[in-house]
A and B are shown apart, each in its own frame.
Chain A
Amino acid sequence: MPTSPSDPAGPPRSAGRPRSPQPSAPTGPASSGPAGPVRSGGADPVDLAVVGAGPAGLAAAVTAARLGLRVTLLDAGDRPGGQFYRHPAPGLGAARPEALHHGWAEFAAREAALCEHAAAGRITYLPLHHVWTVVPAEAAEAAEARRGQAAPPTGWTLHAVAGHAPDERAAAVTARAVLVATGAYERQLPFPGWTLPGVVGAGGAQAMLKGGLVLPGKRVVVAGSGPLLLAVAGSLAAAGAAVPAVVEAAAYTAYAGRVPALLRNPGKLVEAAGYGGALARHHVRLLTRHAVTEAHGTDRIEAVTVARLDRDWRPLPGTARRIPCDALAVGHGLVPQLELATGLGCATRPGPDAAVALEVDALQRTSVPGIWSAGETGGIGGAQLALTEGELAAHSVAAALSPERAATDSGRRVERLARRRARLRAFADAMAAAHRPGDGWTGWLRDDAVVCRCEEVPAGRIREAAQDLGARDARTVKLLTRAGMGWCQGRMCGPAVAALAGQEPVADRRPFSCPVPLSHLAELPATDR
């Protein structure tokens, strides 16, 4: 049985409430400065800027601060924890947010450390800061002089959109080193009817539950592929929803070939047994090598068609049947969120789950000197791995920035972290390979099924672009059909479009990782390159 980078279904082993459900008030210039663009002066860069306050970024920030670095932690969310340690807003009055999490103690300890470091001025914590690009921090002339030379830039500028629309501010931070811990987003493989109200992402359902204590429906089919499905089904059932089936496209026998990686991770097996027990308790049926091939309904989902798949995820004729439901939570694993890193030119590699991840060395360094990565950006692996990599990255950055301070006791800690990282990575890779989408999944995608929901582009037009018009990749399909040009910039349809174009997935390139007000661009400093 697999385990998951997510929650147990059963009652939690609570570590008690965190010291405070909210981090200390940000101490950075964003909260204290005057209105208008806030810039932590180029003359005074911090040692390390961490992008993302999920498990990896949070662990990195507090470790780096403990090692004596001056850190700025930027996060798009309003509270630390990222997608994994998502918790209800204080206004909802959740008595025990930890009830929906395992590993809460690990989060609580780091959140407490963040509060302390922030209060002491060692960490500047900037929530609601969406970093849209990272560029070398130097004047255009210096960049010109460096052009064609191997010397890395001496620092980085991170540009962010801060605050809530419509009152966003432009913010910028300069740093000697950057850690990209931007996590991942859910992979969706479309099917006819997936745009009906009541169809939600599996991760989205989890987020609704964790963040708002809301159920997507009363009778929720959970479908797709990956260990998250079991956790989601367990959470939904525990919260009172009926879950008529968990529909998993992969066959769990795929794990059989990976026994060594499983056995080296006994904790994960215990976690998995927890899910199995919970599902049995709630009478949830697990259908492996099955997929939801269509969602039915007029104003809202009323039922799904479920079909058996062959080894390549091709639906088998004659196996379709209907399951009534009022919601569907569907997801096919996670995709690393890479655009900040690819914008900097960081090298990538195809992962065993067919998603592209960053190339990262044993010390969490990317191929670009001065840029580190930790957590899901280096390949989907869950919160435990992210915490480990975040801590490891902090040691690595500290050693690079001030080698004289890299103490020997730190060396032993680093060795231990590296061993744990290798063990967890092996496990994650085994799981990723088992849930890799089969090539036949596009078989359930009829020509009239919408693939790009932002621009309403059906599969037929994408097939026409690929087969008749000479598009050989997702980029050209986008140019010819607008698939991927809308608000989500292809995060939702990217894997599907690539598959229909017959292309192996390639790293996303999005020079802007979020929409940026034009006025912010107009006010960029003239000294940037």
Chain B
Amino acid sequence: MLKRHSLDAVIIGAGVVGAACAYYAARAGLSVAVVDSGPVAGGTTGAGEGNLLVSDKEAGPELDLALLSSRLWTELAAVLPREVEYEPKGGLVVAPDEATVKALRNFAEGQRAAGVDAVEVPANALHDLEPHLAPGLAGGFHYPQDAQVQPAQAAARLLAASGAEVHLGEEVTQVLLDRGAVRGVRTPRRELLAPAVVNAAGTWGGHIAELAGTSLPVLPRRGFVLVTEPLPRVVRHKVYAADYIADVASGSAALQSSAVVEGTPAGPVLIGATRERVGFDRSLSTQALRRLASQAAALFPVLAGVRVLRTYHGFRPYLPDHLPAIGPDPRRPGLLHACGHEGAGIGLAPATGLLIAAALTGAEPALPVHPFRPDRFGSGPGAADTPEEHP
């Protein structure tokens, strides 16, 4: 059946990025619809920990996006219901030896220039911040801007606050084209017509790009998380070892793991994060569990004695240069992308939504968007340029 009322944009994806796009587009006065094959937060959003991190990003376009998001999350926390559990708990990156402390110092230097608040913590002060940390660490850095939200709630409340027309449980089966330009989408239940379609399908963004007759090389990068029994507050910050930063930046397909440990308001401690590119393999990896558990116990020896209630996994939307694709696709007029945020989608969602809203309304973007242009990977029809690096 044909739905005739004037939408300005259709957003594919009811994860946190799609919800943020809907929220900022609606705030800009646009009429939008959100469509998803599953429920709200049914993909990678629901499998995330809700990290809003600046600490793990080196100076560059992603850090700029994270800093903008960090400011926006503070604003959102004031207007969204408290169920989103926004918690500006701060991050603590710890180093096992002096050489790593030095590397972190250089890393933090660049971040500070970009506007990050990074405070060096000498070895003897680490336990003031985290009393249960293992002894013998060489030092660390405290990042007060790191924060956390409950990711599914964040997506659901953003989506509800957007007032967008929402169609869940409806898979987009076709991206409708008219003389080479996008003019809407089709689901088994309806057609949604609009002059713009936003691909916020996360790890499944490559498939949507294909439906639109273009391409985006999004690959799944699997991660496991362990969830412990509810505990009194034994972990106060988001605490991780310095090698996490190297893992995030790596492009390797092999299993990488570095414990990121944090408490939650409900009591359980969450332990991430592994990274491996194994397609959409849903089988349990005891190897990943072993590494997470041993690294978490190395950081917080007290955790060795607790029980793990469950584990879950998700598939981060990985793009080869670790930067998301945000903005209009010059190869397909009317198509915009907002996907490929890898493990940082919760954190980067508001800034992404703001940039998409600007692109939809023709407003000046809050940040230079060139590094995020969707056609930077080449291939697909009419690829303009294929630089290996972003400026």
Contacts and interface: CB of A to CB of B under 8 A. Distances in A.
Question: Which of A157, A470, A479, A519 has its CB near the most chain B CB atoms (within 10 A)?
Answer: A470
Contacts of B169: 472
Contact of B306 (A471, A479, A487, A518): A518
Given A519-B297, A522-B290, A522-B297, A469 B160 contact: yes
B284 A343 contact: yes
Interface in B203-221: none
Interface in B137-167: 151-153, 156-157, 159-160, 166
A519 B229 contact: no
B348 interface: no
Interface residues of B, number: 49
Nearest to A482: B266
Interface string B305-333: 11111111000000000000000000000
A111 interface: no
B304 A135 contact: no
Interface in B30-58: 38-42, 46
B308 A522 contact: no
Contacts of B41: 470, 476, 479-480
Contacts of B166: 470
Interface in B263-318: 266, 268, 278, 281-287, 289-290, 292-294, 296-297, 303-312
Contacts of A465: 156
Contacts of B227: 485
A363 interface: no
B289 A521 contact: yes
Given A472-B168, A516-B308, A528-B287, A521 B39 contact: no
A4 interface: no
A517 B309 CA distance: 9
Contact of A479 (B152, B228, B266, B268): B152
B309 A519 contact: no
B226 interface: yes
B14 interface: yes
A416 interface: no
A517 B287 CA distance: 16
B305 A519 contact: yes
A47 B310 CA distance: 30
Interface in A447-503: 455, 465, 468-473, 475-476, 479-480, 482, 485, 487, 489
Nearest to B313: A511
A522 B294 contact: yes
Contacts of A475: 39, 42, 46
A524 B286 contact: yes
Question: Which of A343, A480, A489 has its CB near the most chain B CB atoms (within 10 A)?
Answer: A480
A522 B46 CA distance: 26
Given A147-B278, A470-B39, A133 B297 contact: no
A68 interface: no
Contacts of B292: 521
Given A147-B278, A345-B283, A519 B46 contact: no
Question: Which of B296, B307, B312 has its CB near the most chain A CB atoms (within 10 A)?
Answer: B307
A521 B310 contact: no
B55 to A, nearest CB: 25
Nearest to B302: A518
A135 B283 contact: yes
Contacts of A260: none
B159 A524 contact: no
Contacts of B255: 140
Question: Which of A487, A512, A518 has its CB near the most chain B CB atoms (within 10 A)?
Answer: A518
Interface in A90-147: 133, 135, 140, 147
A124 to B, nearest CB: 22
Given A147-B278, A480-B153, A519-B297, A472 B287 contact: no
Contacts of A11: none
A473 B293 contact: no
A268 interface: no
A524 B290 contact: yes
Interface residues of A, number: 41
A465 B311 CA distance: 23
Nearest to A136: B283
A264 interface: no
A510 interface: yes
B304 A518 contact: yes
A487 B226 CA distance: 14
B152 A133 contact: no
Question: Which of B156, B166, B255, B312 has its CB near the most chain A CB atoms (within 10 A)?
Answer: B156
Question: Which of B286, B287, B311 has its CB near the most chain A CB atoms (within 10 A)?
Answer: B286
Nearest to B283: A345
Nearest to B159: A470
Contacts of A524: 286-287, 289-290, 293
Given A470-B39, A470-B168, A518-B306, A159 B286 contact: yes
B112 to A, nearest CB: 36
Contacts of A479: 41, 46, 151-153
A468 B255 CA distance: 39
A521 B40 contact: no
A515 B309 contact: yes
A517 B290 contact: no
Contacts of A281: none
Contacts of B229: 487, 515
Contacts of B284: 133, 135, 343, 511
B297 A529 contact: no
B97 to A, nearest CB: 22
B293 A476 contact: no
A468 B306 CA distance: 36
Contacts of A526: 287, 290
Question: Which of A157, A473, A519 has its CB near the most chain B CB atoms (within 10 A)?
Answer: A519
A375 to B, nearest CB: 24
Question: Which of A475, A485, A487, A521 has its CB near the most chain B CB atoms (within 10 A)?
Answer: A521
A193 to B, nearest CB: 25
Contact of B308 (A345, A468, A480, A518): A518
Given A472-B39, A480-B153, A511 B310 contact: yes
A480 B153 CA distance: 6
Interface of B: 14, 38-42, 46, 151-153, 156-157, 159-160, 166, 168-169, 226-229, 255, 266, 268, 278, 281-287, 289-290, 292-294, 296-297, 303-312
13 contacts: A470-B39, A470-B41, A471-B39, A471-B40, A475-B42, A476-B39, A476-B41, A476-B46, A482-B266, A511-B311, A518-B307, A522-B293, A524-B293
Across chains A and B, which 5 residue pairs bring their CB atoms closest together, nearest first? A470-B40, A521-B293, A479-B152, A522-B294, A472-B39
Given A135-B286, A475-B46, A510-B310, 17 more contacts: A159-B286, A343-B284, A470-B14, A472-B39, A472-B169, A476-B42, A480-B156, A511-B310, A512-B310, A512-B311, A518-B228, A518-B297, A518-B307, A522-B290, A524-B289, A528-B290, A529-B286
